[in-house]
Structures are given as structure tokens and as C-alpha cells.
Amino acid sequence: MPFGCVTLGDKKDYNQPSEVTDRYDLGQVIKTEEFCEIFRAKEKTTGKLYTCKKFLKRDGRKVRKAAKNEIIILKMVKHPNILQLVDVYITRKEYFIFLELATGREVFDWILDQGYYSEKDTSNVIRQVLEAVAYLHSLKIVHRNLKLENLVYYNRLKNSKIVISDFHLAKLENGLIKEPCGTPEYLAPEVVGRQRYGRPVDCWAIGVIMYILLSGNPPFYEEADEDDYENHDKNLFRKILAGDYEFDPPYWDDISQAAKELVTRLMEVEQDQRITAEEAISHEWISGNAASDKNIKDGVCAQIEKNFARAKWKVGVDGRLRMGCLERIPSAPGRLCRTAPLLKGRTVELLLHNKLNGNSSCSCKSCVYVPEQHLASVYSLLNEGSEVTNRKNQILFWVNQHH
């Protein structure tokens, strides 16, 4: 099927809105995401159903960038476990991206509906994800937002395949990547620590997914009051940076040693030592007979319902991270770089490297961006481990001068 318009450069060769409506019937909005609205679309000549993602250009530069990025990446890929791009239209006001329609359920829903669920079922899911990710990595594409919500069954048939969706954060790895991006509970240590990173972040996320599918629990999770996201993220990031997770009983008592070993290799803190997707496919738990066929459904489902059914975890992730985009994870002298929470909202720049001495610029690029409403928390963190002390008045003065 030809693409309606694929020109993303400076040439203003726009489609007319009528080109979209002449070819497709767009139904009601079935889902609203941070950057786009999602419709179910029917092609008028064939009656075939597709998914349509509509991005409004007026919603800002980040939305336009996300749309362009998703188009560029999806045009590059063709794999059975990746939702395929079908058509693209770019008008003066919108981007329309038409994709294959996946009619199956999310993995969680599928598990809850099964009468029998074992490691072998999880192994089958993880194998398909690894094969898709190994393919992406062969093209030097980093997905950067792998999570359970982005894994769905293609249809409702018994042996349906798994497909990966949502590529607006994917990136070509032309050298190591600097900007932090992702969903907190799936972030790799190198992203949290604001190191340069690349394809290994996807393997870490697959390890998190595997951990959840085998136990019903996330490996890194902090209970927090409804509005206390600062402490939630601070403690969560501490644990991720330290690789502080356990195979807690009784949830892991019936899980094979081979499964635990693969999780450990996928969630290796040092990215240079982390197993690759291609290597993981050859692991005995994926390609051999090491995955147990013992029914673990009752234990896993009980924990899924406890941790996820209320959608508290998923809402906390997507609501705070705007579909997984981090603005910036703080970095500063002392312990702040490893303990600071993810800070959102209107931001101001604190020149902590210069100890807030009134300078308005910093050449070291170690500045920290902090919303005004979080200054008290930052001050508390500084006093925990930084050499910067008794600086509250200077912080407030700086904010007033630069806001």
C-alpha cells in the first residue's frame, strides 16, 4: 500500500485532509495518549480495519518530533513481531499514521484468562520480544520504552503472536545516546545515572518484563502516597542504580534456576556486561528445555491483581512521565546524582556545581533542573550528602532572579 506522504524535511508537500477521509472512515477515539489520539479506521475500498494515530501539530514541538520519529523508524522496520506501518498522511495541521490493527489482549489480560500458565508460556512471550528487539538492534534502533503495556497479542486466536507497539521514543544509535527517556520502573541504571547509553537499555527492560511475568511483582517498586511521587522516584532510582532486587519467596520458590539466571543477566547493572538480545535468544530458558511447565497461575495472578489490576502502578507511570518521557534526571555533586527524585513541572536552573554563587552560566554541564515547588526537597537532599549546605536563601534568591 503506497504511503500518502512521507516527506519529513523542509519541503512543504502536504496532504489535503480530504485525502484521509476519502480513503478511510475514522471511528471514535478509542484511546488518548500523551502525544496523540488513537482511532480505529476502516479502509473504504476493502473494509479492512487499521489503527490510526493522529498527532496535532499545534500541540507543540515534542508532539511533532514524536510523530516524525515514529514515521521514520517504522518505515525502516519489517518484522512479524512489530506492528507494521501501513500508511502516512501529513497535512498542514496533523500527522496521520496508519498501522496494522492488533485485536488481541494485553499480556496481563491474557494471563488472567488462562486456566494454566507456566514458565513455558512466559518463555514464549519473551522469545518473541527478544527476536523483535534483536532485529531492531541489528538496525541500530533502540526502542527505549519497552514495557508490558506495549506488548499485545496480534489477534485472539489461541496461538497468536506477540507484537511490539509504540515507537515514538525509538532512536537510531548513531553513537551513544545522552537524553534520558523511558518509564521509571523499566529504566536501566545507566539512564537513571545520566550516563551515555544504547541498545542494552532494551535488554534491561526485557528483564523487568520477564521478572513481572514470572512473579506478578515489579522488581523495583516503592509504595507511595497518592501525591508523594518525589519520595517514590527517589527510592525507586536508588534501588535501580544499585540493582537492588531479590527473588523473594514465596513468589519465586517454584521458578527454575535457569529463569532466575536469565533475569540476572538481563538486569546486569553494568551495561557492558549485560547479555544482548541475540545472546539471550540462545539461552537454555528460551531455546532449550529449561523453562518449567509447572502451573504458576494462581501465585502470579494474585500478585498481578494486587499490584496492577487497580491500574495504580500504570497510572503512576504514565501520568507522571507523560507516556514515558523524562525531561531530565538531576545530576549534581555528592549523592544528589544517585538520590534525587525525578522532578517534573515548571523548571528553573540551579547552578550547584558553582555552589549557587550567583553565576548565571555553567560550562561544566552538571546543572540541575528543579521545579520551584520541590526546592525544599532538594535542599534536604543536598544536606544529606553534598558539600553544599545552608544554601536555601541563595537557592530562593536565584529562583526569583531567573524565573
Q: Which of 92-96, 168-172, 175-179, 376-380 has the weakest average pLDDT?
A: 376-380
Is 52 within a domain?
Answer: yes
| 28 backbone dihedrals φ, ψ, rounded to 5° | -75, 160
Mean pLDDT confidence for 235-254: 92
- Cβ neighbour number for residue 157 with a 10 Å cutoff: 10
CA dihedral (298, 303, 305, 309) positive or negative: negative
Can you tell me the distance from the alpha carbon of 161 to that of 100, in angstroms, rounded to the nearest whole number?
13
What is the 3-class SS of 37-52, one letter each residue?
A: EEEEEEECCCCCEEEE
Can you tell me the distance from the alpha carbon of 176 to that of 403, in angstroms, rounded to the nearest whole number?
33
1 versus 238: which is more confidently predicted?
238
What pLDDT score does 198 carry?
A: 95
Count the residues in the chain. Answer: 403
312 in the same domain as 278: yes
191 in the same domain as 214: yes
Mean pLDDT confidence for 123-136: 98
Q: Are 262 and 247 in contact (CB under 8 A)?
A: no
Mean pLDDT confidence for 285-308: 92
Distance from the first to the final alpha carbon of the chain: 51
307 in the same domain as 173: yes
Helical ranges in 172-228 per DSSP H: 189-192, 200-215
Tell me the per-residue pLDDT of 74-127, one tens digit each, with 9 for 90 and over.
Answer: 999 999 999 999 999 999 999 999 999 999 988 888 888 888 999 999 999 999
At residue 228 the predicted structure's pLDDT band, cuts being 50, 70 and 90, is low
What pLDDT score does 135 carry?
A: 98
- pLDDT above 70 (res 23): yes
Is the peptide bond between 250 and the residue preceding it cis, with omega within 30 degrees of 0? yes
372 in the same domain as 313: no
Strand-strand pairing, 37-43 and 24-32:
antiparallel
Closest to 211 in 3D by CA, of 245, 161, 160: 245
pTM of this structure: 0.75
172 in the same domain as 293: yes
Is 90 within a domain?
Answer: yes
Tell me the per-residue pLDDT of 39-74, one tens digit each, with 9 for 90 and over.
Answer: 999 999 999 999 999 999 999 998 999 999 999 999
Q: Highest-confidence range of 9-13, 228-232, 264-268, 348-352, by mean pLDDT?
A: 264-268
314 in the same domain as 247: yes
Closest to 33 in 3D by CA, of 8, 51, 9: 51
Is 7 within a domain?
Answer: no
Cell triple for residue 250?
514465596
Last residue of a domain, one of 100, 119, 147: 100
What pLDDT score does 11 carry?
A: 56
Any idea what DSSP says for residue 186?
G
Tell me the per-residue pLDDT of 310-352, one tens digit each, with 9 for 90 and over.
Answer: 444 443 333 334 323 343 334 333 223 323 333 333 233 343 4
What pLDDT score does 349 carry?
A: 36
Is 275 within a domain?
Answer: yes
Is 6 within a domain?
Answer: no
List b or e across 317-328, with b for residues whose CB sees 16 or more CB atoms inside 10 angstroms.
Answer: bbeebebbbbbb
Can you tell me the distance from the alpha carbon of 355 to that of 336, in angstroms, rounded to the nearest whole number?
13
Q: Provide the residue range defining the domain that includes 355.
A: 336-402
What pLDDT score does 174 carry?
A: 87
Amino acid at 306: K
- pLDDT above 80 (res 386): no
Q: Is 39 helix (H, G, I), strand (E, B) or coil?
A: strand
Is 351 within a domain?
Answer: yes
- pLDDT above 60 (res 168): yes
Last residue of a domain, one of 44, 77, 100: 100
Domain total for the chain? Answer: 3
What pLDDT score does 112 carry?
A: 83
Average pLDDT over the chain reads: 78
